[in-house]
Amino acid sequence: MVNSNARIAGIVLAFWGVTDLWNQTECHGSEPSVPTRRVLVIGIDGVRPDALQNANTPAIDHLIAAGAFTKNTKILGNRYRENETISGPGWSSFLTGVWADKHGVHDNTFRGRNYDAYPHFFVYLKRKFPNACTGSFVDWEPIDTYIVRAADVRKVRPASSKDSLEQKDKMLAGEAVQFLTQQNPHAVFVYFGQVDEVGHRDGFHPSVPSYLQAIQTVDVHIASLIGAIQSRPDHVQENWLIIISTDHGGRGRKHRGGHDVPEIVTTFLVVSGKDSMKGEIEEPSYIVDVPVIALTHLGVPIEGAWQLDGKAVGVRQEFRNNQ
């Protein structure tokens, strides 16, 4: 008799058109040097909080209802605000937990990058738990080229592909579902790019139907990721935390030069799981908080020598380690 979880995975993967992903690269994190909890970090490029609230997003709504949420997360800090309000510095801050004066990325050229000193948060996880299983799934290629470090599995849809970001997102979702169902991951990052693509084409605004539709399409992918986690036989004991945010908002058809534009610098943050807070996150939050939240949940003590700028918002106080 076919295991029901395997049947669910097979149906989902057939829908996304994904087969034989792990013929060459496998990841089976094992005891004892692995975390006891797990995390899924989802980045959705270019989402305005007001558009997110207007869109029909049952999967994200479910996570918000079960966890912590704020629509007042900032993409720039108070100490340093000199980088451009675009994806290179945005995702660098999102994935390293420090502002651009430290990670060195001020625009999309990635010149001055300093990821050796301020790495992707997977590096810190691997230092604490060498056998932790990690995966990264992105379709904005520079994230994979420059930022991602210490990931056991890296899947990227290159810029040279003629597929739209909508098509790439769909393929990445299927690959991430397979990773979540067929391997033993502890930390996973999934990036979706189509919302930003539509914003640049049609406008970043909750009144733009195609912009809302792009958000809704990504929500379907997020539902598939949630379903993959829930299909895991021990998912309750694994204690997953799901974190969702973005790198910037937008106004008109752009987000460059948005340092003083609320629609560009203000985004959202979802932190959802058994160990998350419930309800609105009232304390100030920033995109640099994302890695610290993830590491805190995974049981990685934050060391002062790392000089991280983020903090663990959205998780219950008893699970916060030294900040």
pLDDT tens digit string along 255-275? Answer: 999 999 999 999 999 999 999
Homologous superfamily of domain range 31-319: Alkaline Phosphatase, subunit A (3.40.720.10)
Confidence of residue 6 (pLDDT cuts 50, 70, 90): very low
Question: What sections of 78-145 are H helices per DSSP?
Answer: 87-96, 100-103, 121-128, 141-142
Query: What's the pTM value of the predicted model, to 2 decimals?
Result: 0.92
Higher pLDDT, 161 or 239: 239
| pLDDT above 90 as % of the chain | 85
Domain boundaries, the chain: 31-319
pLDDT, position 213: 98
Rg (CA), the chain: 18
Element (H, E) at 243: strand 240-245
Please check whether residue 72 is in contact with residue 94, taking contact to mean a CB–CB distance below 8 angstroms. no
Report pLDDT digits (tens) over 75-116.
999 999 999 999 999 999 999 999 999 999 999 999 999 999
C-alpha to C-alpha distance for 116 and 323, rounded to whole angstroms: 22
Q: Helix (H, G, I), strand (E, B), or coil: what is residue 157?
A: coil
| pLDDT tens digit sequence for 213-241 | 999 999 999 999 999 999 999 999 999 99
User: Averaged over 8-31, what is the pLDDT?
Assistant: 49
Residue 307 CB coordination number (10 Å):
11
pLDDT band at 33 (very low <50, low <70, confident <90, very high): confident
| Residues in the chain, overall count | 323
Does residue 321 carry a pLDDT above 70? no
> Which band of pLDDT confidence, cut at 50, 70 and 90, is reported for residue 149?
confident
CA distance 21 to 176: 10
pLDDT exceeds cutoff 90 at 302: yes
Average pLDDT, stretch 269-292?
97
- Find where tokens 């999934």 sit: 190
pLDDT, tens digit, 9 for 90 and up, residues 169-183: 999 999 999 999 999
For residue 297, pLDDT over 90 is answered with: yes
Give the residue among 70, 111, 23 at the shortest CA–CA distance from 243.
Answer: 70
Tell me, what's the pLDDT at 161? 85
> Which percentage of the chain shows pLDDT scores above 70?
89
Tens of pLDDT, residue by residue over 184-217, are: 999 999 999 999 999 999 999 999 999 999 999 9
Per-residue confidence band for 162, with pLDDT thresholds at 50, 70 and 90: confident
Name which of 15-19, 160-164, 188-192, 236-240 the model is least confident about.
15-19
pLDDT band at 160 (very low <50, low <70, confident <90, very high): confident
Question: How would residue 1 be classed by pLDDT, with cut points 50, 70 and 90?
Answer: very low
